[in-house]
Chains A and B, each alone.
Chain A
Amino acid sequence: MHLDEDQVQRLLHGELSPPAERSAREHIAGCDDCRRRLSAAEREENEVHALLRVVDYAPPEIRAETITARAQAADPAARARDAAWPRLAAGFLLVVGIAGVAYAVPGSPVRAWVHEIVQRMGVRPEPSGASRGPGGSPAVSGIAVLPERRLLILFKSDQAEGGARVSLTDDPEVRVEAPVGAATFASGADRLLIDNEGSSATFEIRIPRSATWVEIRVGGDRVFLKDGSRVTTTGSMSVGGYVLRLTPPGS
């Protein structure tokens, strides 16, 4: 059994698994035909790469520091926030951990203090989607995926209030964001599932311009489709994108 074209290519490019490569090399050693095909592929590739080098010019002399300085100059607030975030998260987890241990130790007075504080405050659950981040701004949660050829974004439920804002971006990922607690997100091979039951949030959806096919459905109804560069939607256009109601069309 001769090597097929894919095996020859993978052997040439070092893309076979070690056992598959061993097996392919054993075969090549005893098969003139496959050995010739591998040599021919290698020779052709070398010729092509030599030709490609002809069009090259020396790359610009850019250093990583130049890029990081540009990034910080362009968005210093975001960079400072990004740099601080891991430390803040680590500190928060440490505090939560210590408090948890103190609460769990048998005979700890912390447990009684917590109960007393809770009773005095009369704590009630937060309304759906109303979680707040530091500084009073809504904290967001979401999901990001690299779209394959087709991607379906599926909202499980329709919403009487809120909706979705869709924008097209140069980033490679599809991103869906909403206030924390407004929905739960899951992703499959070709779909994003958003469980938004009971939510009244507005979802921010960013779709790469390069994405070939992205559909947004509410239940079984299509409310948005990007097919290549063509967009059709039941929503309306706004500055920077589209505004969708998460209700079935015509309702």
Chain B
Amino acid sequence: MRLGHERPDDDHYVAFASSALVDLRRTAYLICGDWHRADDVAQEALIRIYSAWSRIERTTGLMPYARRTVVRLLVDHSRRPWRRETTGVAVDPAPVRDQTDVVDNRILLLEALAQLPPRRRACVVLRYFDDLSVAETAAALGCSEGTVKSQTSRGIDELRSVLEQRGFTDLGLLKGVTT
């Protein structure tokens, strides 16, 4: 089955890529903790969209497709061992903290996120950073809504635990976070 006029015109593609790239690479960064890798998967997702633009636009929607591709490239199994079995996450080297006990929430949060298993981390990022619904997150991850709920809940619990272990003093950060 070949559909005609699948490709977008150049202006449309560049406009979409420009706007989507910012969000995609940030989502990817929160999931993988590595800007270079985030760029790679965001770029790959946008390249894949090009050749089936019309179909994706008509069915999945461009941004959901791009986000799903990013997540799957980072998280999901694939036939190649190095992608299928990738789990460990290295956050970019954290800046050395100063000696004044000033806690950098940003760094602590990234470190805590990196402690979560990949799919759990993706659930938290998609739900709270991308503000996706449970159903949208399930679609992005290719799993059931129940799985999203349980994984997100466990992810938040683990985040809270890790932050507390690290002496994070602003315990209100996760207070009231519901899944």
Q: Verify that A and B bind, or say they do not.
A: no
- Point out residues on B near A: beta carbons under 8 Å: none
